[in-house]
Amino acid sequence: MDNNDQPTRSSRHEQDYDEQPERGSLVKRILLWILGLIVLLFIAGTALFFYYASSAPTISRNELAGQNTTTIYDDQNRVISRLGTQKREYAKDSEIPTTLKHAVVSIEDRRFYKHHGVDPIRIVGAATSNIFGRSSGMQGGSTLTQQLVKLSVFSTAASDRTFKRKAQEAWLAINVERHFSKNQILDFYINKVYMGNGVYGMKTAAQYYYGKDLDELSLSQMALLAGMPQSPSYYNPLADNTKYATQRRNEVLNAMVRSKYISQSQANQAASESITEGLDPDHGNTSNNGTGVKEKVIDAYVKQVLAVLEAKGYNPYTDGLKVHTNLDLDAQKHLYNAANNTVAFQSNKMQTGVAVTDPHNGQIVAMLGGRHTGNVIYGLNRAVQTNRSSGSTAKPLMDYGPAIEYLQWPTFKKVSDTKFVYPGTNKVLKDFDNQYKGSMTMREALVQSRNVPAIRTLQRVGIKRATDFLSGLGISQKQPYTLQNGIALYISPLQVSAAYAAFANGGTYYKPYYISSITTQDGNTKQFSPHGKRAMTKATAYMITDMLKGVFNSSEQGSATEAKLDGVYQAGKTGTTNYPSGSSQSGSMDSWMAGYTKNYSIAVWTGYDHPMQESGITDQYTKSAILLYRDLMEYLDGQNHASNWSMPSTVEAVKVSGKRQLVIKDSKWALEYSAYDDDDDDSDSSSLFSSSSSEKKSSDSSSSSSSSSTESHSSSASSASSSAPAASSASASSATTTAPTENTGNGNQ
């Protein structure tokens, strides 16, 4: 290469020198752009903050000092329950020990006396801990003043954790700090926080847990109270497991050491005390420390309302909500009185679960979780438990409904009541009378509730299509269904009521719901509307309803003739279940009555919580479910009388063997018979059957059939409602995966 083509050393240095300013200038421009962007974002954020702050609600001293009362209303805007209005002793500043204030500040807001409502250092620290995982959970940047504002004005629902809400919260916190001293703010907080077990404020908590005034508490006890508001249930010293309460108390003590309010030796001494030391079983002078539910008649309903609120992210104990429900309080009172005073039961231990829904929209009208429940608040709600067999109330849902829907069977379709052996086994299915009645119509088989025709129908339908039909009615289980489920589903009275409501309204399933609206403290209201979907054709719903009228009206074959009401157009199904084969108990384990008009759908379960420890329900008291249903339906229809159902254009009445039957128009069966002469669709269903004698007690029950089934039925119905789904799955699994034994006496009404 020619030397003239190579750059000299000096020329290379000059080239490097020329490039350095260019690179430096580029970096400088980038930094300026970034800085400018940050400034713009800051200005935009500030503008947005003040825009949101301008629409913040006002906050008064009364709101800061007052209780956060959640009020629950019935469908007529009448108050049925208040949470937070029970006895609360407001502690004056002179009554609050300095040590307690130090404990609260140490654990909730160490820089409380240094910030002005919002603490940027706390926000950055919380963000850093969250980003780098220095804490076991997400840390919040809210100051104690912001927490007070949230408790006083806003809800704690996750859906409300928006930038707008945080901006308003911060703005109000700054204003609170301008108008009130730190000591006043701390007093407001100590008197407002929820302390578990229906107790608000730390003065009341001192009485409830220790039977003492605040100034009589030990350091250990004050530390526990200071730490409880973060999670009152979790840190409850009355809980069976006090591990978490102990840990929280020790966290507070250590925080006080870090803040130099106490010495390490003082903390160690307090931490050595048992968390249960000094607890007062009589709860001091807080005799009115209940949850605010003053009438046991609405206990089960309110319990479910609270569960729904919590599932939606609200805290009903601190959010000060106005909750409007779909409860008909008058109907609820009538139901409670009927179950506890009017209708005869075998014993006070014999229980019931009742659910009433509106077929037009799925609104839950009334609910009873049990009878003679004492003073238990929010106890076991048997209306939503799914660990008991539904017996033959399953037949319209899993067998005959799908047969009409998918196979277009007419009501006169012949079904066989002959010896049946479960496929792959040697297990014979029988009815309570150990007899077979040969060939009969689908209508006769359903009204008489014969088991074998029901299972043969399910075979023809197929488990897949039956499962799809049930799913459309809001019914499902983890384990695959089997033929056994055709005469026994593990579903709750609420599920039965909602499913039968779809027959009542012409085929639309509405998911049952309790709450119509929720209004938060800042005035925002969320409305809740019906959620319906078509579950079956109008033809299916009408034909099932027409057949189920016979359960009330067939004087010789109907199993619920005791519930027949003059002038009331109703349809329904009974169900009972027997003890497993070989059991020493006699009688029935469960007795059901499910029925409906166009305006109400009612499902009633009766039985014992521990059936394997009790004698069975005698024949006389299997009718308690029927009589309770009758009493309630008579009242409801008297308040809102329902007209008869009108036959849809897709169905026609035909004469078969001289009797009125129904058939889907244009189906293969429709052309074989002449139209029925009588246009009156309200013909007495009893005229549809032969006058041959039959046992008054029909075969509605599905008996449990194996040791595993025995175990499922002996499961305690008194378990907490949160464990019910597990119990349900276990019961359903054991009942549906094992075929019945010989001599399965399925005597179900």
Give buried/exposed letters for 341-355 (b at 16+ CB in 10 A, else e).
Answer: eebebbeeebbbbbb
- The two structure tokens encoding residue 219: 């350091």
687 or 567, which is more confident? 567
Min mean pLDDT across 265-269, 279-283, 385-389, 461-465 is at 279-283
The number of residues in the chain equals 749
What pLDDT, on a 0 to 100 scale, did the predictor assign at position 715? 34
Q: What is the pLDDT of residue 513?
A: 98
State the Cα–Cα distance between residues 9 and 550, nearest whole angstrom: 111
- How far apart CA 96 and CA 18 sit, in angstroms, is 74
Say whether pLDDT at 704 is over 70: no
Helix (H) or strand (E) holding 191: helix 182-192
Query: How far apart (Å, rounded) are the C-alpha atoms in residues 484 and 488?
Result: 6
Helix (H) or strand (E) holding 534: strand 532-534
Mean pLDDT of the 258-283 span: 95
145-191 pLDDT, tens digit each: 989 888 888 766 666 667 677 788 888 888 889 999 999 999 999 99
Indicate if the pLDDT at residue 57 is higher than 80.
no
Structure tokens at 224: 């526990």
Supply 20's token pair. 């350095």
Mean pLDDT of all residues belonging to the chain: 83
Neighbours of 180 (CB within 10 A): 17
Q: Please check the confidence at residue 359 and state whether its pLDDT lies above 90.
A: yes
28 band by pLDDT with thresholds 50, 70 and 90: confident
Model confidence at 383: pLDDT above 70: yes
Tell me the average pLDDT across 352-376.
94
User: Do residues 354 and 632 make contact, with C-beta atoms less than 8 angstroms apart?
Assistant: yes
- Distances in Å between the Cα of 701 and the Cα atoms of 462, 573, 588, 734 are 21, 11, 9, 17
pLDDT band for position 443 (50/70/90)? Answer: very high
Q: What is the DSSP letter of 721?
A: G
Give the DSSP letter string of 572-615.
EEEEEEEPPTT-S--SEEEEEEEEE-SS-EEEEEEE-SSGGGSP
Residue-level pLDDT at 398 = 98
**Mean pLDDT value across residues 362-383:** 91
Q: What is the pLDDT of residues 395-442, one digit of tens each?
A: 999 999 999 999 999 999 999 999 999 999 999 998 878 899 999 999
What band does 137 get if pLDDT is binned at 50, 70 and 90?
very low
Residue 732 has pLDDT above 50, yes or no: no
Q: Look at the alpha carbons of 372, 375, 377, 380 in this order and tell me if their dihedral is positive or negative.
A: negative
Structure tokens at 390: 């539904």
- pLDDT greater than 90 at residue 129: no
Average pLDDT of the residues in 479-508? 97
d(CA 264, CA 286): 34
Rounded mean pLDDT, 316-339: 94
Average pLDDT over residues 512-527: 93
Q: Judging by beta carbons within 10 Å of its beta carbon (0-12, 13-18, 19+), is residue 454 exposed, middle or buried?
A: buried
Contact 390, 398 (CB under 8 A): no
Amino acid code (one letter) for 174: I
What's the burial of 4, exposed, middle or buried (CB within 10 Å: 0-12/13-18/19+)?
Answer: exposed
Return d(Cα 731, Cα 728) in angstroms, integer: 5
For residue 20, what pLDDT is reported? 58
Considering Cα of 432, then 433, then 436, then 442, what sign does the dihedral take?
negative
Whole-angstrom distance, CA of residue 656 vs CA of residue 674: 8
Mean pLDDT to the nearest integer, 611-640: 95
Categorize the per-residue pLDDT at 86 as very low, low, confident or very high, splitting at 50, 70 and 90. Answer: low
pLDDT at 256: 97
Q: Helix %, strand %, coil % for the chain, to 5?
A: 45, 15, 40
Q: Which stretches of 395-459 are assigned E, i.e. beta strand? A: 414-417, 420-421, 428-431, 438-441
Q: What is the pLDDT of residues 582-600, one digit of tens each?
A: 788 888 999 999 999 999 9
Place of tokens 């729904």: 308
Q: Which of 221, 190, 164, 187 is nearest to 93 (CA)?
A: 187
Query: Which residue numbers are catalytic?
Result: 108, 392
Global pTM reads: 0.75
Mean pLDDT (whole number) for 600-610: 97
Q: Tell the residue number behind the tokens 């909602």, with chain if given.
A: 498
The set of residues, in sequence order, having a beta carbon less than 8 Å from that of 11 and lying 6+ positions away, is none
Pairing between β-strand 571-578 and β-strand 508-510 as defined by DSSP bridges: unpaired
Mean pLDDT (whole number) for 636-646: 97
Q: Could you give the 3-state DSSP secondary structure of residue 125? A: helix
Highest-pLDDT range among 53-57, 575-579, 628-632: 628-632
CB 280 within 8 A of CB 221: no
Give mean pLDDT, residues 441-460.
96
pLDDT reading at 304 higher than 70: yes
Round to whole Å and give the CA distance between 144 and 173: 9
In this prediction, residue 121 has a pLDDT band, given cuts at 50, 70 and 90, of confident
pLDDT of residue 140: 52
Give CA angle at 155 (154, 158), nearest 5°: 125
25-29, 155-159, 568-572 — which is least confidently predicted?
Answer: 155-159
- What confidence score (pLDDT) does residue 39 get? 77
* DSSP conformational letter for 77: S
Report the distance separating Cα 458 and Cα 441, nearest Å. Answer: 15
Q: Calculate Rg over the CA atoms of the chain.
A: 34
Model confidence at 706: pLDDT above 80? no
> Residues of the chain with pLDDT > 90: what percent?
60
β-strand pairing of 525-527 with 532-534:
unpaired
The whole-number average pLDDT for the span 589-612 is 97
Two tokens, residue 106: 């140490």
